[in-house]
Amino acid sequence: MDEIEAKPKKDKKKIQIPTSEASSVKATTDDESIDAECLGSDRPEGRQAVKKRKHEESKALEGQKELIKISQQKMELMQTVADEAIMGRDLSNLDDLSLAYYAAKKKDIAKRNGLL
């Protein structure tokens, strides 16, 4: 037992963890950092995620363009129906005021369609 006590004890070195956190540098663009801040994430968006997001945005934009195109076609069709109703109207039994109104409308329609 004397041998054990006779050996010098080794001092254990304590490893200290620094109390301040290491600073990191973000290499993101302004748009990406704004998106990350909005989402509350500190990590930058990955390349695949950016591609996927841009693809989804372009699909949404294409859908909106298609809706606008359909809406314009619908408006043109409604205008054509209204124009045909005015052009097909019998003006022989109208009073002077109504006759002037419909005559002016017919003239506008004819100009719009390149007839005058």
Residue 45 placed within a domain: yes
Q: What are phi and psi of 50, to 5 degrees?
A: -65, -45
Asked whether the predicted pLDDT for residue 5 surpasses 90, the reply is: no
The answer to the question of residue 13 being in a domain is no
Question: Residue 82: what pLDDT?
Answer: 96
| pLDDT for residue 4 is more than 80 | no
Average pLDDT, integer, range 49-78: 94
User: DSSP class of residue 54?
Assistant: H
Domain contains 103: yes
- The alpha carbon of 52 is separated from its chain's Cα centroid by a whole number of angstroms, namely 14
On whether residue 86 sits in a domain, the answer given is yes
Higher pLDDT, 75 or 26: 75
In the predicted model, is pLDDT for residue 44 greater than 70?
A: yes
pLDDT band at 86 (very low <50, low <70, confident <90, very high): very high
Would residue 10 count as lying in a domain?
no
- b/e sequence 36-55, b meaning 16+ C-beta within 10 Å: beeeeeeebbeeeeeeeeee
What domain count does the chain have? Answer: 1
Domain assignment present for residue 15? The answer is no
Reported as a pLDDT band with limits 50, 70 and 90, residue 63 is very high
Q: Is residue 3 part of a domain?
A: no
Its pTM surpasses 0.75:
no
When pLDDT is averaged across residues 72-90 and rounded to a whole number, the result is 95
With 80 as the cut, is the pLDDT of residue 18 above it?
no
Which domain covers residue 88, as residue numbers?
28-112
Instruction: Identify the pLDDT of residue 60.
Output: 93
Position 73 confidence tier, pLDDT thresholds 50, 70, 90: very high
In this structure, the dihedral spanned by the alpha carbons of residues 106, 108, 114 and 116, taken in order and rounded to 10 degrees, is 70
Whether 60 maps to a domain, the answer reads yes
